[in-house]
């Protein structure tokens, strides 16, 4: 097993008066894909927002051996964690080129890095000068992931990337993300599409009502339909 990259210990997050996360625990290893599963409202998005410091948590989050609770989102991002929210965070009036240039913040994006990103997602090269608002759903998702990768990242947090996508586009996304992990970027994936999660992830955490209810290997939950139904409900196939 490779080195531990992220460890979340007894995470509690309050939003206003609501105690949303009530004890989330999991860890993931370098170079892998970990899936965060759970029914609607289980706390998956809040867990990603807590890691990024967007929903300030209590508890402990260690990333690459450093405690990151209390750091600003900008500092967490500089340590090497990228975030692709479910809402994607794209400006529809900007072209693909402009979106990636803006994501590079202070300096022009590294040419070799842009070449690498567009080799992962060839559609972005094809629509380089199209406004992001005109892209298809799958292309928008690819652009949002590309945007998170413009600056080098050790880990990206991706929230429900397959939502609303056709099966052929989902297959394309699986191929691109597999390639990404082979080039040493780890992925923490929130998914409702179990087939997608099972094709990519090795480690899995299941949340229910803001708490970790199960953590283990994806193979164990993929093989055991009764366990899967018990943890995730009947809608999961």
Scanning 11-19, 44-52, 97-105, 166-174 for contacts with Mg ion by CB under 5 A, the matching segment is: 44-52
Q: Residue 45 or residue 95: which is nearer to ligand ATP going by CB?
A: 45
Q: Give the nearest distance from C-beta 229 to ligand ATP in angstroms.
A: 17
Binding site for ligand ATP (CB under 6 A): 15-16, 18, 20, 38, 40-46
Q: Give the nearest distance from C-beta 181 to ligand ATP in angstroms.
A: 23
Q: Residue 54 or residue 97: which is nearer to ligand ATP going by CB?
A: 54
Q: Residue 18 or residue 112: which is nearer to Mg ion going by CB?
A: 18
Per CB under 5 A, the list member of 5, 28, 45, 51 interacting with Mg ion is: 45
Q: Residue 121 or residue 196: which is nearer to ligand ATP going by CB?
A: 196
Q: Residue 44 or residue 153: which is nearer to ligand ATP going by CB?
A: 44
Site for Mg ion in 111-140 (CB under 5 A): none
Q: Give the nearest distance from C-beta 49 to Mg ion in angstroms.
A: 9
Nearest alpha carbon to residue 160 among 9, 25, 40: 40
When CB distances are held under 5 to 8 angstroms depending on the partner's kind, the choice from Mg ion, ligand ATP, none that residue 42 binds is ligand ATP
Q: Give the nearest distance from C-beta 185 to ligand ATP in angstroms.
A: 22
| Three state DSSP letters for the chain | CCCEEEEEEEEEEEECCEEEEEEEEEEEECCCEEEEEECCCCCHHHHHHHHCCCCCEEEEEEECCEECCCCCHHHHHHCCEEEECCCCCCCCCCEHHHHHHHHCCCCCCCHHHHHHHHHHCHHHHHCCCCEHHHCCHHHHHHHHHHHHHCCCCCEEEEECCCCCCCHHHHHHHHHHHHHHHHCCCEEEEECCCHHHHHHHCCEEEEEECCEEEEEEEHHHHHHCHHHHHHHHCCCCC
Q: Give the nearest distance from C-beta 39 to ligand ATP in angstroms.
A: 7
Side-chain-facing half-sphere of 159: CA atoms under 13 Å? 18
Q: Angle 231-180-95 (CA atoms, 0-180°, nearest 5)?
A: 105
When CB distances are held under 5 to 8 angstroms depending on the partner's kind, the choice from Mg ion, ligand ATP, none that residue 46 binds is ligand ATP
Check residue 46 for interaction with Mg ion (CB under 5 A).
Answer: no
Applying CB under 5 A, the residues found at the interface with Mg ion are 44-45
């Amino acid at each position: 097993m490779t080195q531990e990259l992220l460890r979340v210990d007894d995470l509690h997050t309050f939003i206003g008066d609501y105690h949303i996360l009530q004890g989330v625990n999991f860890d993931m290893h370098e170079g892998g894909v970990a899936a965060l599963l759970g029914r609607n409202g289980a706390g998956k998005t809040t867990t990603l927002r807590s890691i990024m410091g967007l929903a300030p948590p209590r508890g402990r989050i260690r990333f690459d051996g450093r405690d990151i609770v209390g750091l600003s989102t900008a500092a967490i991002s500089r340590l090497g964690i990228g975030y692709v929210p479910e809402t994607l965070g794209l400006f529809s009036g900007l072209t693909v080129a402009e979106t990636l240039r803006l994501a590079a913040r202070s300096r022009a994006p590294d040419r070799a890095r842009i070449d690498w990103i567009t080799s992962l997602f060839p559609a972005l090269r094809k629509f380089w000068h199209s406004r992001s608002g005109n892209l298809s759903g799958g292309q928008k998702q690819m652009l949002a992931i590309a945007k998170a990768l413009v600056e080098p990242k050790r880990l990206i947090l991706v929230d429900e990337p397959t939502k609303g996508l056709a099966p052929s586009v989902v297959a394309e996304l699986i191929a691109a993300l597999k390639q990404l992990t082979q080039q040493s970027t780890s992925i923490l994936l929130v998914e409702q599409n179990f087939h997608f999660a099972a094709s990519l992830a090795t480690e899995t955490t299941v949340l229910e009502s803001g708490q970790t209810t199960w953590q283990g290997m994806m193979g164990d939950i993929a093989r055991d339909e009764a366990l899967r139904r018990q943890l995730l409900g009947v809608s999961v196939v």
